[in-house]
Every structure is written in C-alpha cells, then in structure tokens.
Amino acid sequence: MATFDDFMKLDIRVGTIIEAKLLEKAKKPAYQLLIDFGKEIGIKKSSAQITEVYRPEDLKGKQILAVVNFPPKQIADFQSEVLVLGIYSQKGVVLITPDKAVENGDRLG
C-alpha cells in the first residue's frame, strides 16, 4: 500500500491549457497540450488521451491538475513533461479540474 509520505512526493499543480492539438503520431488517439503552470514552473507540454470526451477547442483556457515532477516521457515524436490527471469514465477520460478559478501553479494540498 502507498503511504501518505508516498503521496506527498507527488507535486500536483494547477495549470491552464493554452494550446491543444491532435498528436498525430501517437499509437492511441491523444492530444498534445501546452499548459501554463505560472512563474515558478512555466509552460510545460503533455500528451493526454482525452479525445473521446474533448475537442481541442474545448480545452483552451481550461484549468487542470497535473503531476509536474515525473520524468519526461517520449510519446511518438513528442516529449510529455507532465502527467495530466483524469478519471476513467464510461465515456472516456474526464479531466480533473478545480471547481473555482485559482492561480496557475497552485499546489494540491
């Protein structure tokens, strides 16, 4: 079982999606996202398999939660720097979002 200390090692932050487009070379349908995490972390890239529920135009300006301290992962010809968090639903992956606007870079506590 994971411990609370294990959970605390994760750096989960709020970011705003500033760009979303299809990641054409991915094996599974995915978008490449550009996400603003504020001054401390800056703008990061992520690959997200959320094409069943979202269109790229739905994503711009959306605040999301992501793990920002995993090592980068190569997805086809794209390097994903953060892991966007979502819930596996019957419709597809639904993003985890704050229910009120917060500052980019705010940390999950």
Tens of pLDDT, residues 56-92: 999 999 999 999 999 999 998 999 999 999 999 999 9
Model confidence over 43-65: pLDDT tens digits? 999 999 999 999 999 999 999 99
Please state, in angstroms and rounded to a whole number, the distance separating the CA atoms of residues 86 and 58.
15
What the block records as the tokens of 99 is: 């229910």
Q: Which residues pair with 90 in a beta bridge?
A: none
* pLDDT tens digits, one per residue of 95-104: 999 999 999 9
Helix intervals (H) in 9-80: 38-41, 56-59
pTM (2 d.p.): 0.94
C-beta separation of 66 from 106 below 8 A: no
* 11-95: CATH number: 2.40.50.140
Q: Which ranges of the chain would DSSP assign to H, the alpha helix? A: 4-8, 38-41, 56-59
